[in-house]
Amino acid sequence: MVSHRLLVRKLVLICIAMFGFGFALVPLYDVFCRYTGINGKTENTAAPASRRVDESREISVEFLANRDPAVPWSFAPEIPSISVHPGQVKIVNFLVENLSGVATIGRAVPSVSPGEAARYFKKIECFCFVEQPLDAHQGKAMPVQFYIDPDLPSHFTTITLSYRLYNNTPQTVGR
């Protein structure tokens, strides 16, 4: 009589491994995104300081502020766009104001277009790294300090940085 036990065990292990692989795709995807720029994802942590500036090129950086309808804030960039040399560090403010009479917490999610340029967009400091609380009727300027990596391929001339602002106040997070 042939014993099937060994083969069955191997097959069950493959199944379990593939189930784990399905979940492993989640961090794998993030790593891949960071490397290739799918969906224009940028790092969520501070980038190292810029080392050199390439004066021969100018990149136009545009700013977009999208507000999720559930956020009772106004949200807009101070300036719609700015021209920078790759490597040059700039600070741009995004202005928010809590229009409601209730303290709210917001969280901004960045997205860069074109996607392939995302990994060259280095943020030294960004309000998107942490949640932003605002009291009733409070307004503030949220800065993003960034530079474009001089290694940016030459065919890129315009980069758009877009933020989507979500309402992260505990009792309103949707289910």
Partner 1 sequence: MKRNLFGIQCFGNYLLLMLILFISAPLQAQTEKYNMTRGATDISQQVYDLHMAIFYICCVIGAIVFALMFWSIVYHRKSKGAKAAQFHGSLKVELLWTAIPVVILVVMAIPASKTLIAMEDASKADLTVLVTGSQWKWHYKYMEYPIEYYSMLATPRDQIDNLAEKTELYLRDVDKPLVLPTGKKIRFLVTADDVIHAWWVPAFAIKKDANPGFINETWTKVDKPGIYRGQCAELCGKDHGFMPVVVDVRAPEEFDRWAAEQVELQAQAKADAEKAAQQTQSMEELMALGQKTYEIHCAMCHQISGEGLAGAIPALKGSVMVTQDIAAHIHIVVFGKPATAMQAFGKQLTTSELAAVITYERNAWGNNTGDLVQVADVAAAIEAGE
Partner 2 sequence: MSTENSNVLDINNDHHADERDHKPKGITRWLYTTNHKDIGTLYLLFALLMLFIGGSLAMVIRAELFQPGLQFVDPHFFNQMTTVHGLVMVFGAIMPAFVGLANWMVPMMIGAPDMALPRMNNWSFWILPFSFFILLSTLFMEGGGPAAGWTFYAPLSTTYSNDSTAFFVFSVHLLGISSIMGAMNVIVTIFNLRAPGMTWMKMPLFVWTWLITAFLLIAVMPVLAGTVTMVLTDKYFGTSFFNAAGGGDPVLFQHIFWFFGHPEVYIMILPAFGIVSSIIPTFARKPLFGYDSMVIATASIAFLSFIVWAHHMFTTGMPVAAELFFMYTTMLIAVPTGVKVFNWVATMWRGSMTFETPMMFAVAFIVLFTIGGLSGLMLAIIPADFQYQDTYFVVAHFHYVLVTGALFGIISGVYFWIPKWTGVMYSERLGQWHFWCSLISVNMLFFPMHFVGLAGMPRRIPDYALQFADMNAFISIGGALFGLSQLIFVWCVVRCMRRKGEKASTQVWEGAHGLEWEIPSPAPYHTFQTPPQVK
Work out which of 74, 93, 145, 168 binds partner 2, going by CB under 8 A. Answer: 168
User: What is the 3 state secondary structure string of the chain?
Assistant: CCCCHHHHHHHHHHHHHHHHHHHHHHHHHHHHHHHHCHHHCCCCCCCCCCCCCCCCCCEEEEEEEEECCCCCEEEEECCCEEEECCCCCEEEEEEEEECCCCCEEEEEEEEEECHHHHHHEEEEEEHHHCCEEECCCCEEEEEEEEEECCCCCCCCCEEEEEEEEEECCHHHCCC
Binding mask 40-59 for partner 2 (x = CB under 8 A): -x--x---------------
Q: Does residue 50 belong to the site contacting partner 1 (CB under 8 A)?
A: no
Q: Which residues of the chain form contacts with partner 2 (CB under 8 A)? A: 2, 4, 7-8, 11-12, 14-16, 18-19, 21-23, 25-26, 29, 33, 36-39, 41, 44, 68, 107, 109, 115-116, 164, 166, 168, 173-175
Q: Which residues of the chain form contacts with partner 1 (CB under 8 A)? A: 39-40, 62, 64, 66-70, 72, 80, 98-102, 104, 109, 111, 113-114, 136, 155-158, 160, 162, 164, 167, 169, 171-175
